[in-house]
């Protein structure tokens, strides 16, 4: 089984230096599982090189050890034995730091997305787990490495954010059992909620108001979407990371089966977030555009304009609904 092979690879005497990376646009699961994995490897007596695809986002700078999460200035010719990639459906997800990964050295692929491409030399993929953080929890337990408050915090953040605060369909009885256990290490849920989701700049709210005014629907309200253009971001002096959850607003409308958010990451590049209700599989939709994720939450990137992307994706969304009814 995947986890046993991962443990064997960690314990191997030949593997001394581990490089850890994750996907771009790092969110709670990417960051939490990366930091928790770093702790696990250190306690297993290994040398750890944190190799994130970007700098730590402001929201998570409160975490202990956050200062070590920095994009390396030299991303080539890194001396390591094993690469460990977390929360990535495919190797392209790590973005430009891929040039630092030597494809002839072992890659541990630890992920919980159904669309994982099994790109690693050892693959441990658990689509029924809430988050990669939950997978790291099991690694700690199975390797009998004690969890402490700091590790509990990392895993808690991973599970909290990937389940949308325990609201999404990936929230299971196991999720709650593990969370209950983690809280016993002194997790302050109120404080963490405030740090992760609140304390937002005013610009986030004015930008949200502007994004909501772009709300559009199709197929008798079964498809709903909003967009955020580069111009909107600059006029509100806001960053793209402030728009992460905007897709939840069209999703919350009664009758909506597919919700979309189109966000202009750079000129000519549109990031699409897809969400579904009532068991519609939006991973199938994201895959049509070389993206992926989970059946009820996935993403992809399209080249071109926002209106071009809207036309193409909404047309495919209509087709998907037609074929699934
Ligand atoms: P979000 O819409 O919040 O960026 O992402 C939702 C889910 O889809 C996440 O699980 C994320 O890993 C996945 N996802 C988002 N964008 C992409 C993408 O461009 N490619 C792939 N393969 N998955 C993505
Ligand atoms: Mn995840």
Hey, whose CA ends up nearest to atom 19 of ligand 1?
Answer: 300
Q: Is the pLDDT of residue 325 over 90?
A: no
Q: What is the mean pLDDT of residues 252-258?
A: 98
Q: Where residue 140 falls among pLDDT bands split at 50, 70, 90? A: very high
Q: Which residue has the tokens 């030399």?
A: 121
Residues 97 and 236 in one domain: no
- Which DSSP state fits 57? P
Q: Give the per-residue pLDDT at 265.
A: 82
169/279 Cα distance (integer angstroms): 9
Residues 174 and 213 in one domain: no
Q: Where residue 314 falls among pLDDT bands split at 50, 70, 90? A: very high
Answer whether 32 contacts ligand 1 (Cβ < 6 A). Answer: no
Residues 102 and 180 in one domain: yes
Q: Give the per-residue pLDDT at 178.
A: 98
Longest dimension (CA), the chain: 61
Entry field: residues in the chain? 325
Among 95, 293, 295, 296, residue to substitute to test ligand 1 (most atoms within 8 Å of Cβ): 293
Answer whether 133 contacts ligand 1 (Cβ < 6 A). Answer: no
Residues 44 and 193 in one domain: yes
Residues 192 and 207 in one domain: no
56/35 Cα distance (integer angstroms): 11
Where is the domain boundary, 153, 169, 197?
197
**Rg for the chain, CA atoms, rounded:** 20
154/160 Cα distance (integer angstroms): 10
Q: Give the per-residue pLDDT at 1.
A: 67
69/55 Cα distance (integer angstroms): 6
Q: What is the mean pLDDT of residues 111-135?
A: 97
In tens, the pLDDT along 35-51 reads: 999 999 999 999 999 99
- Cα 268 to ligand 1 centroid, rounded to whole Å: 19
Structure tokens belonging to residue 72: 């390396």
Where is the domain boundary, 166, 197, 228?
197
Instruction: State in Å, rounded, how far the first CA of the chain is from the last one.
Output: 37
Residues 144 and 221 in one domain: no
Residues 174 and 47 in one domain: yes
Domain tally, the chain: 2
Residues contacting residue 241 through CB under 8 Å, at least 6 positions apart: 25, 57, 58, 59
Range of the domain at 306: 202-324
Q: Give the per-residue pLDDT at 81.
A: 97
In tens, the pLDDT along 172-231 reads: 999 999 999 999 999 999 999 999 999 889 999 999 999 999 999 999 999 999 999 999
Q: Give the per-residue pLDDT at 273.
A: 98
Where is the domain boundary, 180, 197, 214?
197
CATH number at residue 149: 3.90.1640.10
Q: What is the mean pLDDT of residues 127-142?
A: 98
Q: Give the per-residue pLDDT at 165.
A: 96
CATH number at residue 307: 3.10.310.30
Beta-bridged to residue 264, according to DSSP, are: 270
Residues 167 and 29 in one domain: yes
Among 289, 299, 301, residue to substitute to test ligand 1 (most atoms within 8 Å of Cβ): 299
Phi-psi region of 225 (alpha: psi -120 to 50; beta: other; left: phi over 0): beta
CB-based burial, 214-226: b 16+ in 10 Å, e otherwise: beebbbeebbbbb
Whole-number average pLDDT of the chain: 96
Q: Is the dihedral of CA 162, 167, 171, 176 positive or negative?
A: positive
In tens, the pLDDT along 261-306 reads: 999 988 899 999 999 999 999 999 999 999 999 999 999 999 999 9
Sheet containing 297-303: give its strands across.
216-218, 223-228, 258-266, 269-276, 297-303, 292-293
| DSSP string for residues in 26-44 | --HHHHHHHHHHHHHHHHT
């Amino acid at each position: 089984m995947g986890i046993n092979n991962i443990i064997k690879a960690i314990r191997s005497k030949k593997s001394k230096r581990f490089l850890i990376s994750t996907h771009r646009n790092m969110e709670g699961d990417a960051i939490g599982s990366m930091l928790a994995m770093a702790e696990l490897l250190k306690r297993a007596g290994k040398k750890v090189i944190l190799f994130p695809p970007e700098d730590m986002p402001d929201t998570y700078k409160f975490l202990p050890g956050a200062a070590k999460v920095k994009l390396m200035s030299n991303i080539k010719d890194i001396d390591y034995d094993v690469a460990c990639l977390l929360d990535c459906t495919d190797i392209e997800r790590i973005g430009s730091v891929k040039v630092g990964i030597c494809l002839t050295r072992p890659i541990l692929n630890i992920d919980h997305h159904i669309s994982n491409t099994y790109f690693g030399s050892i693959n441990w993929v658990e689509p029924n787990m809430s988050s990669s953080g939950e997978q790291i929890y099991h690694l700690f337990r199975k390797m009998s490495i004690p969890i402490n408050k700091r590790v509990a915090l990392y895993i808690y953040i991973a599970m909290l954010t990937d389940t949308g605060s325990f609201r999404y369909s990936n929230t299971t009885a196991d999720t709650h059992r593990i969370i209950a256990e983690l809280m016993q290490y002194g997790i302050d849920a109120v404080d963490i909620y405030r740090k992760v989701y609140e304390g937002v700049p005013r610009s986030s709210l004015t930008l949200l108001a502007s994004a909501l005014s772009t709300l559009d629907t199709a197929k008798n309200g079964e498809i709903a979407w909003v967009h955020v253009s580069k111009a909107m971001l600059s006029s509100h002096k806001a960053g793209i990371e402030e728009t992460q959850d905007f897709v939840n607003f069209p999703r919350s409308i009664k009758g909506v089966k597919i919700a979309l958010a189109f966000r202009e990451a750079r000129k000519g590049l549109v990031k699409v977030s897809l969400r579904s209700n009532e068991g519609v599989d939006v991973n199938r939709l994201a895959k049509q555009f070389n993206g992926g994720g989970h059946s009820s939450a996935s993403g992809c990137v399209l080249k071109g304009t926002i209106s071009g992307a809207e036309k193409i994706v909404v047309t495919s969304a209509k087709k998907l609904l037609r074929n699934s009814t």
